[in-house]
Structures are given as structure tokens and as C-alpha cells.
Amino acid sequence: MHKRNALQFIAISALSIGAGALLTACSEKKTEFRGVDITGADYARDIPLTDHNGQKRSLQDFRGKVVVVFFGYTQCPDVCPTSMQELAEVKQMLGKDGDRLQGIFVTVDPERDTPAVLKAYMANFDPTFLALSGTPEQIAAVAKDFKIYFKKVDGKTPTSYTMDHSAGSYVYDTVGRLRVYNRYGSGAQALGADVRALLQEAG
């Protein structure tokens, strides 16, 4: 009798452990990304700059949306327009969910990138995308927090300089948490897959 009770106890315990393991596995299922998963990173915390419409901005302004942040400048010949065009393609790929994507372009060239220039530049890609700027000191502080490198490279004339800068996009989920780093050259499909994954995660 005691032996049978012991066997029943072991069987029930095994079933309980198995069920618990299944529940744990389900609860720990992570969202998989095509870009670099940087969930939990303690940098790139906010974008306290002013948009091209003169409004001060914060990541909290965009709660409910996936936010993609890119640093560049409007006279960039290749990397910047390519990145912004890919982001515009992602928005189109999302269809009706495109309204839940916010593109943010942070200039590293406030000297030439006036609000009017930035607004016109965004209109080339998507009128809902916002370009942010500030004083050189403010931009430098935000870039440092994002681990963005940028440096002015003199040209033949004082106004024909270029800007060396880091290339890549930071992707935030709908509650403003940094989740993914998308390397330049990954393409719209990879970025779109990660944006869609974060939207599905939010429900």
C-alpha cells in the first residue's frame, strides 16, 4: 500500500514538474529579431531635442508606436537618404500598421540643417517622420548617450564640409524601451520584420 502511494506521488510530482517546465518555457519565450537584440541596454535613453516644427520632444511622446531613431545630416550623399528611404519602405510594408511607426532623424549638422531644411528633407521620405535638432552641445550630449560618433570633415570651402558619423538605427518598442540596433545595410525587410515583431508583441 505504501509502495503504491509512493509511486502515485512520484507520478504526480513528475507531471507537476513537467507542467511547470512548460509554463516556464512559455513565459520565457523571447521575441527574436533580425537586428542586434539590445533589450535592457542602459544607454540611448531619450531624445530631448526640438523637432522641425519647433516642438520639444521626448520618447514618451510616441508611446503606442514603435520608434526608429537614426542620426545623420541632410547633405549626406548616400548612407542617410538610403536609411530614410528604407524606413519609408518599412512604413509602406506595414500597411495600416504603418501609423504605429514613428521615424526620427537626428541631425549631427545643426549649422546647415535648419528647421526648414529638415522639414523639406523629411517630406522626401514621409511627412510623418520628424527631424530633431538643438544646439551643438545638446546634440553632442544626445549623441554621446547613443554612442554615436560624428566629426566634421573640412571641404574645399567653409560650407562644403562633410560629416563622418555612425550609421545604424535604434528601434524602441511601444512603451519606449530600447530593443534593437539595426546595422546600416541590413535592408528594409530586416528592419520591417523587427518592427512588425514589436508591434505584434504589443498586441
Q: Tell me the binding residues for Cu cation.
A: 76, 80, 165
Structure confidence by residue, pLDDT tens digits, 26-63: 445 788 999 999 999 999 999 999 999 999 999 999 99
- The pTM of the full predicted model, rounded to 2 decimals, is 0.84
If one compares 24 and 200, the residue with the highest pLDDT of the two is 200
Residue 184 has pLDDT above 60, yes or no: yes
pLDDT at 21: 42
Q: Tell me the binding residues.
A: 76, 80, 165
The residue with cell 537614426 is 70
Residue ranges of E strands in the chain: 36-37, 50-51, 66-72, 101-107, 130-133, 150-153, 162-165, 168-172, 178-183
Residue 24 has pLDDT above 60, yes or no: no
Beta partners for residue 153, in sequence order? 162
Strands 36-37, 50-51: pairing is: unpaired
Q: Percent of the chain at pLDDT above 70? A: 86
